[in-house]
């Protein structure tokens, strides 16, 4: 692919493609073939990028929202025009089915467009005064230089959720993409440049080991904000490191989503909804259903319906159009999935469908039944295509079990009872609740996205996501 060979071995720093001597390999999870050698940035590149971001901030923050929006609209259009290549790049580096990759490119473009529009709506307020000779205003201002760390599971969309509002607000952005998926980020940088993006405003520093790059940026007081999507463990580390320079922080961390299927559910539809939430991206989503709580009355009917839904999932080469389950991203992810299934089975769970690793990094779409507390799969995020079914007898019991976790990102329910839908949605300690909805967050850059408890700090999406990149200045004036 022309574009991949152009961006190989290069980092995008200060509006220039820096060819570096050090590089690391990105391999295709489908067959382990080499996708590209990628520039491996270290402390030196981080220092250059930081100086460039500090300089660029001086003029980017002073552009009008309309000027920033114009560049962002061009970028969003180019992303849309390149959806095939972007989708393919994601598929090659992390194994998601090409149809999902293309969809993600559209999702990415939508998010950039939404924030381009938002850039033109950033406005302060007239603040009333008790004194007749005083006038006062609030004025939103960009936070400053931002350091962003993005994940491999949605390498384009999660980047857009962060870069979109940051650039709209007038911040400059240094990105460290996940080591599994640097090419998607570099591709987006190439399109940013084609859109007329100014140098130093958006920079991409791929690296295999983030420690050197992160140390430079986390220690420097001129980096005013860190935004991160990844594990709760790393999120805690970054939270601690931010304290020294009191950086603003947004964290999107782990999840352990429950899906509660009530006894009034349309079983076929509920099973299809659980499958939609569980097996998308091979279960490698922070918002993926990780525990399925089914009313005892529906147990057998639901198990059969979910098993039937998995039988139509085609596992295979993610570049093929009819594939809906690709390989897992790497050996560690596969090992965890295998471990969760083996642990559950050893403690009495029953495999209803799937249950096997089938070679390479593939694991079948799996349904487990008779799952009980004490099994790892009910306590840890699996990040794989396994749906463990647990039964319940009452609404209270289901809510209590769903909330019994340190996580609080997404939760789902299936019911036709509107009263119950509201009651349970309000009782769930989660940042996102899908009612009969498998994917409440996808293609919704306008909606709040984020978690309670150990699933994160702050919200992305909508004006909540924009506020995270703005400071509020209060200006009070005594009339002469």
List, by residue number, the catalytic residues.
252, 286
CB of 100 to ligand SIN, least distance (A): 11
Shortest distance, position 218 Cβ to ligand SIN, whole Å = 23
- Residue 385 CB, shortest distance to ligand SIN, in Å, is 14
User: CA-CA distances (angstroms) from residue 367 to 214, 257, 267?
Assistant: 40, 16, 15
Near ligand SIN by CB under 6 A, which window of 94-102, 193-201, 284-292, 299-307? 284-292
Q: How far is it, in rounded angstroms, from Cα 117 to Cα 115? A: 5
Does the protein bind ligand SIN through residue 333 (CB under 6 A)? no
Residue nearest ligand SIN, Cβ-based: 285
Q: What angle do CA 94, 95, 101 make, to 5 degrees?
A: 90
Find the helix or strand (DSSP H, E) in which 408 lies.
Answer: none
Stretch that binds ligand SIN, among 17-25, 151-159, 181-189, 464-472 (CB under 6 A): 151-159
Given the complex with ligand SIN, which of 56 and 286 has the nearer CB atom? 286
Stretch that binds ligand SIN, among 21-29, 76-84, 281-289, 463-471 (CB under 6 A): 281-289
- Which residues, numbered 393-452, are part of the site for ligand SIN (CB under 6 A)? 439, 441-442
Q: 156-175: which residues touch ligand SIN (CB under 6 A)?
A: 157
Task: Say whether residue 60 binds ligand SIN (CB under 6 A).
Answer: no
* Location of structure tokens 């950039």: 112
DSSP label at residue 409: S
How many residues make contact with ligand SIN (CB under 6 A)?
9
* 3-state SS assignment for residue 327: coil
Task: Confirm or reject binding of residue 149 to ligand SIN (CB under 6 A).
Answer: no
Q: Residues, the chain, total? A: 480
Q: What character string, x for contact with ligand SIN (CB under 6 A) and - otherwise, covers 100-139?
A: ----------------------------------------
Interface residues for ligand SIN in 6-35 (CB under 6 A)? none
Between the two ends of the chain, the Cα-to-Cα distance in Å is 66
CB of 437 to ligand SIN, least distance (A): 11
- Starting at the edge strand found earlier in the chain, the sheet holding 456-457 runs 16-19, 10-13, 202-204, 172-177, 145-150, 223-229, 248-252, 456-457
Does 286 engage in binding with ligand SIN (CB under 6 A)? yes
Among 8, 28, 150, 153, binds ligand SIN (CB under 6 A): 153
Q: Which residues contact 384 (CB under 8 A, 6 or more apart)?
A: 282, 283, 284, 328, 333, 334, 336, 337, 340, 363
Q: Is the Cβ of residue 46 or residue 156 nearer to ligand SIN in the bound state?
A: 156
285 binds ligand SIN (CB under 6 A): yes
- Alpha-carbon distance 188 to 93, whole Å? 14
- Cβ atoms of 267 and 436 closer than 8 Å: no
Q: Interface with ligand SIN includes 154 (CB under 6 A)?
A: yes
Instruction: Give the phi and the psi of residue 192 in degrees, each rounded to 5.
Output: -60, -45
The single residue listed with the structure tokens 């230089």 is 145
Residues forming the site for ligand SIN (CB under 6 A): 153-154, 157, 285-287, 439, 441-442
């Amino acid at each position: 692919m022309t574009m991949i060979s152009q961006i190989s071995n290069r980092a995008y720093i200060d509006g220039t493609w820096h060819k570096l001597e050090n590089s690391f390999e990105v391999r295709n999870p489908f067959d382990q073939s080499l996708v590209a050698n990628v520039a491996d940035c270290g402390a030196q590149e981080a220092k250059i990028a930081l100086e460039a971001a500090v300089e660029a901030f001086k003029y980017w923050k002073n552009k009008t929202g309309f000027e920033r929006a114009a560049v962002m609209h061009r970028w969003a259009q180019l992303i849309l025009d390149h959806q095939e290549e972007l989708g393919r790049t994601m598929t090659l580096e992390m194994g998601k089915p090409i149809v999902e990759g293309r969809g993600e490119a559209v999702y990415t473009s939508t998010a950039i467009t939404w924030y381009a529009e938002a850039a033109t709506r950033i406005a302060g307020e007239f603040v009333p005064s008790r004194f007749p000779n005083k006038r006062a205003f609030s004025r939103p201002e960009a936070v400053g230089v931002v350091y962003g760390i993005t994940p491999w599971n949605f390498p384009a969309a999660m980047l857009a959720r962060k870069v979109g509002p940051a650039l709209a607000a007038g911040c400059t952005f240094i990105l460290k993409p996940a080591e599994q998926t640097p090419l998607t980020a570099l591709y987006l940088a190439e399109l940013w440049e084609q859109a007329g993006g100014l140098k130093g405003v958006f920079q991409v520093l791929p690296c295999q080991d983030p420690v050197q790059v992160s140390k430079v940026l986390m220690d420097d007081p001129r980096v005013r904000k860190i935004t991160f999507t990844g594990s709760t463990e790393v999120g805690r580390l970054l939270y601690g490191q931010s304290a020294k320079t009191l950086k603003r922080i947004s964290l999107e961390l782990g999840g352990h989503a429950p899906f509660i299927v009530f006894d009034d559910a349309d079983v076929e539809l509920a099973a299809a909804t659980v499958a939609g939430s569980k097996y998308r991206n091979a279960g490698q989503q922070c918002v993926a259903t990780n525990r399925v709580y089914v009313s005892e009355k529906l147990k057998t009917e639901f198990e059969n319906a979910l098993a039937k839904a998995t039988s139509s999932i085609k596992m295979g080469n993610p570049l093929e159009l009819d594939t809906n389950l690709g390989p897992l991203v790497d050996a560690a992810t596969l090992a965890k999935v295998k471990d969760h299934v083996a642990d559950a089975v050893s403690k009495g769970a029953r495999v209803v469908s799937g249950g096997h690793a089938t070679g390479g990094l593939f694991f079948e779409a799996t349904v487990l039944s008779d799952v009980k507390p004490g099994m790892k799969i009910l306590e840890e995020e699996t990040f794989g295509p396994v749906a463990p079914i647990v039964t319940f007898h009452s609404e209270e019991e289901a809510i209590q079990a769903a909330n019994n976790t340190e996580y609080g990102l997404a939760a789902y329910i299936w019911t036709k009872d509107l009263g119950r839908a509201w009651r349970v949605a309000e009782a769930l300690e989660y940042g996102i609740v899908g009612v009969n909805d498998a994917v409440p967050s996808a293609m919704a850059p306008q909606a709040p996205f984020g978690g309670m408890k150990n699933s994160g700090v702050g919200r992305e999406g909508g004006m909540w996501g924009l506020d995270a990149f703005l400071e509020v200045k209060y200006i009070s004036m005594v009339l002469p």
